[in-house]
Amino acid sequence: MDISTQQEADAHRKILNRLKRARGQLNGVIDTFEANGQCKDVVTQLAAVSSALDKAGFAIIANAMRNCLMDDGREPEMTPEELEKLFLSLA
- Mention the CATH class of domain 3-88: mainly alpha
Domain boundaries, the chain: 3-88
pLDDT (tens, 9 = 90+) of the chain, 91 residues, equals: 555 788 888 989 999 999 999 999 999 999 999 999 999 999 999 999 999 999 898 888 888 777 766 656 667 777 777 877 877 787 6
- Binning the chain into helix, strand and coil, the percentages to the nearest 5 are 80, 0, 20
* The length of the chain, given as a count of residues: 91
pLDDT per residue over 41-61, tens digit each? 999 999 999 999 998 988 888
From residue 67, alpha-carbon distances to 5, 10, 54, 56, 91 in Å are: 10, 13, 20, 16, 22
